[in-house]
Structures are given as C-alpha cells and as structure tokens.
Amino acid sequence: MFGEEEDLSEFEGFANEWKSGNFHSREKIPFNRQPGIKIELPMPDVITPVQVFSHIFTEEMWMRLITQTNLYAEQTRSATPSNSKWDPVTIHEMKTFVGLCLAMGILELPSRRDFWRQKKWLFRTSIPQAMSRDRFAIIWRYLHLQDNKAHDVDRSDKLWKVRWFLDYLKDRFQELYEVNGFVSVDESMVKFKGRLSFRQYLPLKPTKWGIKVWVMAESSTGYVSNFQVYTGQLKDHGLDACGTIRSNRKGIPKKLAAMAKHKYTVSQKDELTFCAWQDTKTVLVLSNFHAPTATGTVKRRHGGTIQTEVTVPACLADYQRHMKGVDLLDQMVGYYQIQHRSKKWWRRLFFYFLMVSCYNSYIIARSAGANCSGFKDWLEDLAQELVTPVTARSAPQCATAPVAASAQHDCEKIYEKIKICRECSQSKNGTEARPGATVYGCRQCNVPLHIECFGKHVRRT
C-alpha cells in the first residue's frame, strides 16, 4: 500500500521517464528454492496435530513460558502479598492452559467463568475436568513472556515484552516451511482498544482499532513466513513487488484518458511497469516484476451470472491471483481466536500468534500429505491433545465426555446441605471420598453425587 504523504524519493535514480510504447525487455530473477516442508515428519496416516505443533512450540518455548510465568508470580506476590494460593506452574499445566485457550476460541461464551458453570446441564462443558476455574484464572493472571527486571533487554524497543517470542516464532516459521515464491504482503489487525502508543486506526478494516502487523503469507495457502509488528516506521527492502496504487500518488503518469470498460493502458519507467485498467472503476497497478507487454486473463461477470475471461496486463492478473494470502490467514485465524479482554496489549499479540502457529502447523501437515479434513477439526484435535489432567479439587481425573442421562436419571441440585458423594465414598475403600464437596445428586436414586461422578453412577445402575 502506498501513502499519499510520501515524497518522490522512491522514484529517484531512474534513467528514463514514463513511456507508453517502445518498451524494453527485462530479465526475471528465477525462484531457485524448493517450496514445501523442510523437516521430516511421520508417515502421513499417523501424523497428529501435536507432533507438528511441537516443531513450532518446542520444549524451549514451553520452558520459557513456565519460567517467566513463575518468575512474574514470585515478583508480584512478593511486592503485593495475596491470599490466593499459588503453586509453580508445570509444563503439563501450561500445555493444558494453552489447549483450553484454543478450545475457548472454538466454543465461545461471554465470560471465562461460564466455562465452569455446572448448575444447568445444557451449558456444562468438560473444561472443569481438565483444570479448575481458580487454577486457570491464576495462570491467566501471571502469564508472562519477559522478565520485567531484566537488564539485557532494549527498553527503547516498544515490543521488548514480546520480542523474544516474536523472533523465535519467525525463525521457526522460516525453518519449517518454504513458500512457493508467490506471497502477499498486507496489513493484519490485532484487536486492542486500550491505551497504546502504536495503536492504529484503519477505518476500512473489519477490526478498526488495534495493533497493525505487516504479514507476508503464501498466496495459495496463507502460510505466514515473515511478519513485522508496526510500531511507527517501516523500512524498505529490495523485493520484486506488485500492488495497487492510489491515483494521487506522486511520480506516476498523470494523463490518464477516459477508457471504455475493460480497456487498459501501460507505461514503463526503467524497471517499473504501470498499468491503468478500467473495471467498474479505474484500477492502478505498479510492478517491478512484470514486463509491460505480458498479458493475462481475469474472470468478470457479464449479464449478472455468466463469467467471461478478460485480457489484462500480467501484473494485474497476477495481483488478483496472489493477493489473498493474508486475507485467507485473517479469515481462518479470526474464526477461532480467543477474544476475551485483557488490559495488557501483549496478551493480544500472544494469542494472535499462537493461533497463527496453529494455522502454520496445519499447512505443514497438509503439505506433508496428512489427512486434514479442515482447520477447525485440526484445531479441535490439537486442543484435545494439549489438554492433560492436572490436580484440581473439582477435577480428579480427565475423563471422556460425560454419559448422557437417561429418562430415569438426572443430576440436579436436590440437597440443601452438603453431602458426601456416593461414588467417591465407595471407590477404593473410601479413600477418594471428599466430604463437603457436593450438594448435587441423582433425583431418581436420591443419592448425593459429584457432577463428574454422575456418568459412573448411571453406568453402575
């Protein structure tokens, strides 16, 4: 995207002016890299989501998460004593925490606390069986990526809180997969409405307020190979590029005559090719990759339903064909990203790039030949594989989905006083009995039960 406020410095150094005929040829630089995955994976029929995801979120990443989270909890609690209980988080707990965050993006509820509701059976989830509500809440509170008291970080970097995390992911993305040479570079917005010096407002984007991220994604798949969080100023790189340009851009041909629909004009200035094509409105394209004489085709509707192919310059045809990589990424990530609010801006970036990592792992597995029915199923399987049982009073075991109650049995709040669960008291000579832990029970049998024990009771009866 080209801004109208920029000067003519980008057009300095050209030997010629714009010309509309007698074009000179230019030599294309061949793409000599082998596209596709760069790592060895198991046979396609046995690949699991967590096996691929572990190449992005490696053990080094998990150790960083738990180390910084535990350190931040210790620093915070020593400065401000709290009555809440805190035990250092483990790798299993952190994986479960991340898996639950992915699940919450798929199964959306108004509040995080709603995932632990148990009073109405229609709205119960299995999340309490994986981690207690209080444990999840306290890990969410102390989740951290960078030591606030570290002396070896550049505090002038506005992204110092997430710099290690972003650089690590960027390296992993590029080491695992090679794009096919056709990529799109576009803006992606991470929603955030809090106070932030580099918060952006883009009125034409679905997400208007937030953190702007420049993303380079493979056009055909949406795989992210490079990205840059915008914090104030971008640097220019020598790349072959093709993109639309505004009509008031300085340095472009100004004398654009009126044209009939689907007609075009082409101009050349050294290695730059400029195209003006008349569709429903005039489309202007600038490229340093295409020859001005090369042509292609695009499909347009004629008569409302019939599609016809229209001859256009190659730069415009390729732009339409390869411009959608970042849009595809935004679509897939936006469907299932956790949207719960936080006052900390870096959390939004963390969960955004967590979802980008999940999507990249999906593209890698699909390129390796794995049987992927869709990103949603892949994400569900990944979340389920990450979630492991952790010690919690409300979740003694990570069980399968609870058995549906029959017409004769129903688990409801039928006791006013606290009771002892019948199933817990009968198992292992009563060693698992938890007095004072339940006021629910089976209405048919009139016995007190924990909600998670109701399925066992129905099978037994």
Question: Structural domain boundaries of the chain?
Answer: 8-30+248-285+292-314, 33-219+323-392, 411-460
Task: Tell whether the model's pLDDT for residue 402 goes beyond 50.
Answer: no
| 11-15, 69-73, 326-330: least confident range | 11-15
The mean-pLDDT minimum among 183-197, 235-249, 370-384, 413-427 falls in 235-249
Between 154 and 68, residue with greater pLDDT? 68
pLDDT band for position 459 (50/70/90)? confident
Range picked from 265-279, 351-365, 435-449 for highest mean pLDDT = 351-365
pLDDT in tens, 419-429: 788 788 777 55
Structure tokens at 246: 């505004």
Contact 299, 317 (CB under 8 A): no
Of 92-96, 137-141, 233-237, 386-390, the poorest mean pLDDT is in 233-237
**Considering the entire predicted model, what is its pTM?**
0.69
When pLDDT is averaged across residues 409-436 and rounded to a whole number, the result is 70
Candidate from 291-295, 337-341, 359-363, 432-436 with smallest mean pLDDT? 432-436
Handedness of CA 350, 352, 356, 358 (dihedral sign): positive
Q: 197 pLDDT band (50/70/90 cuts)? A: confident
Kindly tell me the sign of the dihedral angle through the C-alpha atoms of 46, 50, 52, 55: negative
Helix 345-367 × helix 325-336 angle, to 10°: 110
Alpha helices (runs of H) in 370-413, residue ranges in sequence order: 375-386
